[in-house]
A and B are shown apart, each in its own frame.
Chain A
C-alpha cells in the first residue's frame, strides 16, 4: 500500500492538534535553551568546579624548620625529611612471605607487625620516621594497603652536649624546650599551597595560581661556641662523676658582648632519643634552679663598701674570734683569721668580715646593688621556666639577714644570674644584657653598677683568691692572670640548713683585660671535699684554659719556666 493512499491520512483531524504538538515541541526547546543559558551564563560555578576537578589539583608545599647554628656556622639542629609507613589493615591482606620481608626491611619483629596489621582500626602506623632509602625499598614492594607519608625529623648532632640550650621539638615540629621554644616563631616554617593543572600522566603542566607561598623557617645563629660548649660539658661531667655530685651547671660568657658562649647542666639527656626522660634530666638548672650562692657574693659586698662606704682596699677589719652574734644568731668563719684587710676578707673568704662590712652600710644601698645586678628578676631570655631568685624587699630585712646576705645566704640566684653579675667586675663596672644569639655589633656600654676604679680593685682582690694563701689556688690558669671567687654554701632543706653543700666558683680571665667569665656550680658533692676551691675551681681552670686557647687570647702572665723554649726552625721553601 502506498503511503499517499493510507487511510490514516485521509482522516480529517482538527488543525489545532498539529499546532498544539508544535507548540509543545517549541516549549520543550525553549526550556532546554533557558536551562542552558542559566547554567552557562548565570550559575556556572558549580559546573566549572566539576570540570576543573578533572584536571586541577591543589598541592601542599612543605616548608622546613630553620636550622640552629653555633657562632661559627656549625649545625646544632637540623630537620631532614623522613618517611612514616602506615597501613589500612583491611586492605593489607599480605602473604606471610611479604610480611616477613616488610618486617626485615623495617627491622621489626614479625609478630609485632602481624599484631598491628590485625588491628581493627582504619589507620595504623607501622613505623614512624624511617630513612627515605628504606622507605623507597618498602615502596618498591608495592604491597596493597601499605602507604607512606613524608614527615620531618629534627636531629641534634651534638646530642647531650647541647641539649639544655637547644631543647627539642615535639609533634607537629613545634618547639618544646630551650632555644627551640624561645625562638620558635623564627624557626618555624609556614607550609604553602598552589593550584596546578596536571596532564594524563600526572605531570604538572601549568601553574594556575600560588595560593600561599611556602615560607621556610629562618636559621638561628646562636652565640654558642661548640668547642667551648664541649669543653664546658665534658669537664663538668668529669667533675660531677669524680665528686659523686647530684647535679651541676656551667656558664661561659663573653665579657665584651654579653654573649653566652657555653651553657651546660647535668644530669642531661640525649635529645635524639627521648624515650626515658625524667624531669631531673630536663631541668635547665642554670636558668630554672635557684641556690644560695654563698661566698661568691662577697665581692659585691666589698665592691659596694669601696664605692659607697668608708672602706678602702686596705682597711683593716677585725674578724677574731671568728664568730659574731647578731641577736640570737651566730655567724661563724670556717677558719680563724684575726685582723684582715678588705682584700684579705675576699681572699680568705671570711664570713664575719663580710658581715661587718655589710652592717656598716644602709640596707637600702645593698638592695639597690643586688637589684641593679639583676638578682630577684628573671633575665627574660625566653627560656621556659626562667626564674628570678629570691631577694626580699629591704624594708623587711632583719639585721641578721643583711649580715648573711653579705656572704650569700638568705638570697637565692640562678647560675646564669650569678655569671652575669660578675660581668660588672670584668667590664669596668657596667652590666650588659646577655644574648643567646650571636651579636654582630657588640653593645657599646651597659648599665653602670660600679665605677671602673671599684671594678679594677675588686678584680685585683679576686686575683688574690687564686694565689697561694687564697681559697682557690686550683683555679689558676697557666699563662693567664686569673681572678675569681669560691662559694661553699650549706643547702636549705625545709627551712633549715643541712650538711649538704653547693660548691661554686665564678671567675674571669685574663685579669689584665678580661675576656671571659666562667661560672661553675656543683650540687651536693659527696666525694670527700665539698669546698668550692676543691670541687668547682679545677673545672673553672680547665674550661677557662681551653676556652682562652680556643679564642687565641694572648697570655698576660709569664708561664712557668720550663727551660728555654726552642723556636722551631722556619720551613725554608714556602
Chain B
C-alpha cells in the first residue's frame, strides 16, 4: 500500500513539474509567434511602401520624359513598323 502511494506521489510531482515546464515553453513559443506576426505586419507595411515607390518611379509621365529627353527616343514613324506574322500573342 505504502509503495503504491509513494509511486503515485512521485508520478503526481513529476506530472506537476512537467505541466509547469510545458506551460512555460508554450508561453515562450507564443511570445515568439507574436514577434513573428509583428514582423509580418511590418513587412506588409514595407511592401506597401515599396509598391508605392515602384509606381512612383514607374510613373508614365516620368518614363516618357526620360525616354524622350535623356534617351532621345521617339515613337516609330509610319512605315518604320514591321508587323511579323506568327502565333497570336495571348
Contact = CB atoms under 8 A, between A and B. Distances in A.
A520 interface: no
A138 to B, nearest CB: 18
A478 B52 contact: no
A433 to B, nearest CB: 25
Contacts of B49: 80
Contacts of A132: 45
Contacts of B31: 203-205
A155 interface: yes
Interface string B47-61: 011011011101111
Given A204-B34, A206-B30, A158 B59 contact: yes
Contacts of B61: 161, 230, 234
B50 to A, nearest CB: 10
Contacts of B55: 74-76, 157-158
Interface string A424-445: 0000000000000000000000
B48 A78 contact: yes
Nearest to A561: B79
B48 A226 contact: no
Contacts of A96: none
Nearest to A157: B55
A73 to B, nearest CB: 10
B82 interface: yes
Interface residues of A, number: 39
B60 A565 contact: no
A330 interface: no
Interface stretch (A22-30, A295-303, A551-559): A551-559
B27 A554 contact: no
A479 B30 contact: no
A304 B56 CA distance: 49
Contact of A479 (B27, B56, B81, B89): B81
Contacts of A549: 75
B72 interface: no
B27 to A, nearest CB: 4
Chain B, interface size category, equals 20 to 34
B83 A554 contact: yes
A83 to B, nearest CB: 12
A81 interface: yes
Contacts of B77: 562
A157 B59 contact: yes
B27 A206 contact: yes
A561 to B, nearest CB: 6
Contact of B52 (A78, A161, A204, A554): A78
B79 A560 contact: yes
B80 A204 contact: no
Contacts of A80: 45, 48-49, 52
Nearest to A205: B27
11 contacts: A67-B48, A75-B52, A75-B55, A78-B48, A132-B45, A157-B59, A161-B61, A230-B61, A479-B78, A552-B89, A562-B79
Given A79-B48, A204-B31, A559-B81, 12 more contacts: A64-B44, A76-B55, A158-B55, A159-B59, A199-B27, A203-B31, A205-B31, A206-B27, A546-B75, A562-B78, A562-B79, A562-B80
Interface of B: 27, 30-31, 34, 44-45, 48-49, 51-52, 54-56, 58-61, 64, 75, 77-83, 89
| Across the A-B interface, the 10 shortest Cβ-Cβ residue pairs | A562-B79, A478-B78, A230-B60, A157-B55, A205-B27, A80-B48, A75-B51, A559-B78, A560-B78, A75-B55
